Structure 1
Amino acid sequence: MLLIRPISGTDFPALLTMAQESGAGFTSLPLDEQKLAHKIVHSEQSFAADIQKPGDQGYLFVLEDTATGEILGASGIEAAVGLSNPLYHFHKSTVVHQCKELDIFNPVEVLTVGNDYTGATEICTLFLREPFRVGLNGRFLSKVRFMFMAEQPQRFSKLVIAEMRGAADEQGQPPFWNWLRNSFFNMEFSKADYLIGVGNKGFIADLMPRYPIYVDLLPEAARKVIGQVHENTVPALKLLENEGFMHRGYVDLFDAGPTVEAQLKQIKSVRQSHRAKVVITSDEALRKGQFQLAVCNCESREFRATVTDDCRFDPDSHSLYMSPAMADLLKVNEDELVRYLNLDKGAK
């Protein structure tokens, strides 16, 4: 069976492997052993803490194949970004240059550096290893975060964002960064990417342009990729757009990838996931369902989630019929509550 659970210290080798496989530009998985080890410890502390409002917590989940013990992927949530380290974005907006006497009306686009998302919750670190990008794995790994947030809303902000990886050329270099490097920075993208990944952002305030940048003055290669995602990120963006996330003009400083946002209560998987009472049965006929359901317990530190069609929701008793093996996997008992979500496409 597939199991999503909080990361633990024993998952460090798998997390290091995913950091190696994710490549440049995936700043939430920096190729730095000390930083990765800290992320695990920080996540364990966050899941264990009694939280009444969002702060400097980070939650990291792993997807495990219980038959083999292999870790297939990871996903994460940062409870409130920009509190200990500033979070910078470019915001693309329109400025109008107008002269009535000459009958000239000229709207132009500009990029302005800001910290508008300070305090927002960020979903991040969605990475599914290449051999396992099949079936419902990616959807399950993405949506389980929203189920956890629906169950633990006090831990998160009302506004949720996701920074999407920006477009890159055949050499893996973002065209937008090539312009930025030549104009303001004297370093390779790999170094800037590493510094961001380990939380060293002071150089941004020191070197980033302080005034609005006129988009029309940028090289064509840089202009074309503003708000565009990396080809490997297209499926993740589609998942979020289906959840109700929207792009409102904010882009990454270095690769110009879009940042998308949604109100927590309006996220599709938050609205469409529901609690139900557990009924444990060995009778396959009673629990055989028509849909693939993601099911999680209502815990934090001992959070567990799985996906199955061997589980049926009964609307009359508002109960979820599951096997003893599934109940053990989720660490739930008879009559306890779980949260479920229909993963089939088009589910309402």
Structure 2
Amino acid sequence: MSWIIRPARPDDVGHLYEMAKLTGGGFTNLPPHRSALADKLSQSAAATARPDETLHDDLFVMVLQDTQTGEVRGTCQMFSSIGGKLPFYSYRLVQQTQHSRELDRTFRNQVLQLVTDLEGTSEVGGLFLHPSARAGGLGMLLARSRYLFIAMHRKRFANRLLAELRGVVDAQGNSPFWDGVAGRFFGMTFRDADEFNALHGNQFIADLMPRHPIYVALISADAQAAIGVPHESGRPAMRMLQDEGFAYENYVDIFDGGPTLITQTDSVRTIAAARSDALLNREASAAFGEQALIATGRLGEFRCCVGTRELDHHGIAIDSATRQALNIDAGAETWSVAR
């Protein structure tokens, strides 16, 4: 075991930049721009330095690091309350029913409504694994480490939690949903709009997007087919979210039409099952222990890895390799959840 999740530091900007260049576009939370990434790391540092345990407009950036080589091969993010400084727009897919008495017919049409319903919700996102690290359950470690962090800092997060999944984007970086909907009003390619949003926020959507509902039947077939569909590479992430209790509630991303999944924060499986125990002064038994995600440390000192735990009414025992990776001594507060 050599992988650990820790908060990102300003000197991780080079690692994040190299990973950002591998995303293939449409990954707003990980833009391939050093200045934008440096700004994210600055926000994360400010969030971990804030002492009061209250809900605020915080961003936390984590990285996956090999403790033996020092290489960073993954990242993820948490937003404690979206839509505070900049509006958070979504399309909501709704059905309108109309009846003609003269024709004796009922017409049902789907429409896309531009909404800010999800403002104030916490968000998990920005999860990316380097292609060389997409094995061995590291995606699971990255994803679920966020929920342990939230459980350990519960007052800093809202009662609802969402995750936006990247939508359908082709090999050339084009989005059929953007081309069929918003692109018609902005005169920008999907790549240009996505890049502008990553660097400057999406206020330009509010300035230029028509306020009236958009009838789905009037947009192209390719755009219709992309509504609520995740990018091929995001399907495993969608399954992990659903396993945690997230559900699709007909909200989609305004750029690529990807699905937004939502749940109650305290209903997330990992958060609900997470427990806090004092670390015992003994090693977990291989015969009686179980594999678990194990974390410790407040805010900037947060660390999380996979190890062996053994629970009893006195506290938690962990294996020596995990104790060394987390750098903790007997008596330390330790959070864990079964793998």
Q: TM-score, normalised by structure 1?
A: 0.93
| Aligned position for 2:301 | 302
Most deviating of 46-55 and 145-154:
46-55
Secondary structure in 1 matching 2:201: coil
Indicate if the aligned counterparts of 2:78 and 2:125 stay in contact, CA closer than 8 A: yes
Deviations 1:58-117 (A, max 9, x none): 000101000110001001101111110111110000111112343221111110001111
1:26 to partner: Cα distance: 0.2
Structure 1 segments of 4+ aligned residues over 6 angstroms from their partners: none
Question: How do 1:62-77 residues align onto structure 2 when only pairs under 5 Å count?
Answer: 62-77=63-78
Q: Which amino acid counterpart does residue 49 of structure 1 have in structure 2?
A: R
Look up the SS of the partner of 1:184 in the other structure: helix
Q: Which residue of 1 aligns with 2:329?
A: 333
2:209 corresponding residue in structure 1: 208
Which residue is 1:276 aligned to? 277
Shift of 1:187: 1.2
Residue 264 of structure 2 is matched in structure 1 by 263
Q: Which residue of 2 aligns with 1:155?
A: 156
Aligned partners of 1:131, 1:220: CA distance in 2, in Å? 36
CA apart distance, 1:280: 3.6
Retained in 1: the 8 A contact 2:279–2:315? Answer: no
Which residues of 2 match residues 1-348 of structure 1 at below 5 A?
1-180=2-181, 183-281=184-282, 286=285, 290-308=289-307, 311-323=308-320, 325-343=321-339
Give the distance between the partners of 2:95 and 2:116, measured in 1 at CA: 18
Alignment coverage as a number of residue pairs = 338
Deviations 1:203-245 (A, max 9, x none): 2112212100111111111101100010011111111010000
Q: Once the 2 structures are TM-superposed, how far is the Cα of residue 172 of structure 1 from its aligned partner?
A: 2.6
The percent identity for this pair of structures is 32
Q: How far does residue 275 in structure 1 lie from its aligned partner after superposition?
A: 1.5
- 2:296 partner amino acid: N
Contact 2:280 2:314 in 1 (8 A): no
Q: Secondary structure at the match of 2:317?
A: strand
> What CA distance in whole angstroms lies between the structure 1 residues aligned with 2:318 and 2:245?
30
Residues 237-282 of structure 1 show CA distances to partners (whole Å, capped at 9, x for unaligned) of 111010000010100111100111010000001011111221243x
Letter in 2 for 1:300: L
**Partner-residue secondary structure (3-state), 2:310:** strand
Structure 2 counterpart SS, 1:22? coil
The answer to whether the Cα contact below 8 Å between 2:181 and 2:219 also exists between their aligned partners in 1 is no
Q: Distance in 2 between matches of 1:5 and 1:302?
A: 8
Structure 1's unaligned 5+ residue stretches are 344-348
Rate the CA distance shift 1:86–1:151 in 2: closer, same or farther, 3 A: same
TM-align CA RMSD: 1.6
Decide whether the 8 Å contact of 1:159 with 1:263 is kept in 2. Answer: yes
SS in 2 for 1:28: coil
Of 110-119 and 173-182, more deviation after overlay is shown by 173-182
Which whole-Å CA distance do the structure 2 matches of 1:276 and 1:7 have between them?
A: 26
Is contact 2:182–2:254 with CA below 8 Å preserved after alignment? no
Structure 1 residue 287, shift from structure 2 partner: 5.3
- SS of residue paired to 2:300: coil
Deviation at 1:290, TM superposition (A): 4.8
Q: 1:322–1:238: structure 2 CA closer, same or farther, 3 Å change rule? A: same
Task: Note if contact 2:183-2:190 (Cα within 8 Å) is conserved in structure 1.
Answer: no
Distance 1:269 1:193 in 2: 32
Structure 2 partner of 1:346? none
Structure 2, gaps ≥5 residues long: none
What's the offset of the Cα at 1:168?
1.8
